[in-house]
Structure 1
Amino acid sequence: MQDLPPPPDDLLNGASLFLDFDGTLVDLAPRPEDVRVDDALRLLVARLGRAMEGRLAIVSGRAIEAIDRHLGPEGISVSGSHGLELRGADGRLTVPERPAALAALTERARAFGAANPGVVIEEKPFGLGFHYRLVPEAEAASHALAEAMAAEAGLHLQPGKMMIELRVAGGDKGTALATMMKGAGMAGTRPVFIGDDLTDEPAFVQAEAMGGAGILVGPARATGARYRLDDVAATLGWLDAFARAAA
């Protein structure tokens, strides 16, 4: 597999920037709730918002409420739940209807988590995540249950790093990027999306289709991204260098 080059220093000039959260701005943790955000990252996000003149968005699989808890509502655009939740910089929120079936599915998922210590059930507004990073041997059982539940309720199945998720269909990070690019300030610019996971691939493809580029964070693999950064530390360093140069 041919490796990708690092992004050029001027890639963000005149662009719109879209950032994944887990695995991109913060290192992955055994449990989603174990992630901690320090003041330096919050300050960097604020500095990036100024450097990009508002053309900055966080696009995460987490709910918007969880992103706000970690980064604070900085007046930037945010997409949560893999593109299902959208909130513009003006605070206007768009969300789908929560399926009634999710309540019963959540109870089943909790029972599975209780019967399989180490499997972390992440409850989201529009889905459920099964994290088995602590117990890799639970991968097959986690996937089997998630697949069965998704089929029963007509939900979308989304694989990720050491996890499997079922969620409401109808959106992904690529559709979120495309919608946000219609907003004031971003329209007519090049989108640059930075992410690490399989869930970020639709956004890499969409960014490329709109004249921009994707940046993969982590080891080389098959991807729709054009550039690559080694890890979270390298990503934060690259973003910090841009923010400093733009200040």
Structure 2
Amino acid sequence: MAILLDFDGTLVEIAPTNDTIAVPERFGERLVDLSRRLDGRLALVTGRSLEDLAGHLGQLALACAGSHGIERIRADGSRLGDVPAPIPTSIVEVLAGFTAQHPLVTIERKAFGAALHFRADPGQEEAAVAHAAEIARQHGLECKRGKCVVELVHPGADKRRAVLAFMAEAPFAGALPLFIGDDVTDEDGFRAAEELGGFGILVGGLRRGTRARFCLPDVKGVHHWLEL
């Protein structure tokens, strides 16, 4: 078995802002221990950048894919795949212009993307998504939708590609992949696991149209099932 895990909403509870999540004490060490129990067949696949993830968990001897899978490292720290290109600052500034007119909407600047968060004002979803979609159309980018967030990324930034990349080489190759996630961006991970003979596990209960085969009730349920 190989286990590939989303982070926010799967391993930690979603918080009002990205930097206010509550990470359990010594959680990085617990994840590394789980990886050892799986003979190294554990990977984190998150929308956060790898730098941001390390800021919450520390530098881990663990396979990780950040920025929706476009930046990938093996457990030994070596890069898997090409170095991704950053989103140009000029595009980020145009995206940020939306927040000047909508004070409760915030922008998250990432190394390889930029996101608008509207959790504090869900009524701005339609406008925020339309604004991001127009920028994406003009500049050949893609929009990633999530829970109260829309993000601009380069084409090819999806969790399916990250899963396939990890599963193509040791120690993952030949194992049965399980992808655990909670958000719509995790459907790409579920699809990759299914393509390789495995399956997805949706956190929070099954929703219409999901590719996940099973579900876990919440973050605590994930911790309990994985013995974290």
CA distance in 1, matches of 2:113, 2:28: 27
TM-score (norm 2): 0.94
Q: Does 1:239 align with 2:222?
A: no
CA distance in 2, matches of 1:104, 1:111: 11
CA distance in 2, matches of 1:117, 1:42: 35
Gaps spanning 5+ residues in structure 1: where? 1-14
| 1:115 Cα offset (Å) | 2.5
Aligned residues: 225
For residues 1-247 of structure 1, the aligned pairs below 5 Å read 15-93=1-79, 94-99=82-87, 102-222=88-208, 223-240=210-227
TM-score (norm 1): 0.87
CA distance in 2, matches of 1:125, 1:40: 26
Counterpart residue identity of residue 145, structure 2: P
CA distance in 2, matches of 1:181, 1:31: 32
| 1:40 Cα offset (Å) | 4.5
CA distance in 2, matches of 1:21, 1:137: 26
| 1:110 Cα offset (Å) | 2.6
In the alignment, is the contact (CA less than 8 A) between 1:130 and 1:164 conserved in 2?
yes
| 1:124 Cα offset (Å) | 1.3
Gaps spanning 5+ residues in structure 2: where? none
Structure 1 residue matching 2:169: 3-state secondary structure: coil
Structure 1 residue matching 2:3: 3-state secondary structure: strand
Q: What do residues 21-65 of structure 1 show as CA deviations (whole Å, max 9, x unaligned)?
A: 000001111111111312143232122111111111000011011
**Runs ≥4 in structure 1, deviation > 4 angstroms?**
none
CA distance in 2, matches of 1:129, 1:157: 9
Counterpart residue identity of residue 234, structure 1: G
CA distance in 1, matches of 2:179, 2:206: 17
CA distance in 1, matches of 2:69, 2:59: 18
In the alignment, is the contact (CA less than 8 A) between 2:32 and 2:61 conserved in 1?
no
| 1:162 Cα offset (Å) | 1.2
In the alignment, is the contact (CA less than 8 A) between 2:13 and 2:22 conserved in 1?
no
Counterpart residue identity of residue 128, structure 1: A
In the alignment, is the contact (CA less than 8 A) between 2:11 and 2:219 conserved in 1?
yes
CA distance in 1, matches of 2:149, 2:211: 21
Counterpart residue identity of residue 85, structure 2: E
Counterpart residue identity of residue 178, structure 1: L
In the alignment, is the contact (CA less than 8 A) between 1:36 and 1:70 conserved in 2?
no
CA distance in 2, matches of 1:95, 1:24: 27
CA distance in 1, matches of 2:157, 2:108: 19
CA distance in 1, matches of 2:83, 2:216: 32
| 1:132 Cα offset (Å) | 0.5
| 1:155 Cα offset (Å) | 0.2
